[in-house]
Amino acid sequence: DGNIADGQAKSSSCAACHGATGKASNALYPNLAGQNEAYLALALHGYKNGGRTGGQAGVMQAFTAGLSDQDISDLSAFYASQKP
């Protein structure tokens, strides 16, 4: 399962666009705070394996390429835990 504290520690790259508290810095990007953990994991795996395209998928594919399954679980747990 995902570890919230570990997810926070791994989220520095995410925060530039999605915000340190999961509120996006630009309205064209999604807020992540309080999003469903399973959906977040599905999205990250989809970017990593190339199955998800559209929007900023190119950027997201680069950011997710080096993530392990545990990293994805931790990041998903962290953002899901934040207050929207």
Under 8 Å between Cβ of 84 and 34: yes
Which of 11, 35 has the CB closer to its own copies? 35
Closest CA to 31 of 17, 43, 44, 13: 17
Member of 3, 4, 6, 46 binding its own copies (CB under 8 A): 46
Member of 43, 67, 72, 75 binding its own copies (CB under 8 A): 43
Q: Does 35 bind its own copies (CB under 8 A)?
A: yes
Q: What angle do CA 27, 60, 50 make, to 5 degrees?
A: 130
Scanning 5-13, 30-38, 63-71 for contacts with its own copies by CB under 8 A, the matching segment is 30-38
Under 8 Å between Cβ of 76 and 44: yes
Q: Which chain residues interact with its own copies by CB under 8 A?
A: 24, 27-31, 33-39, 42-43, 46-47, 51-55, 57, 84
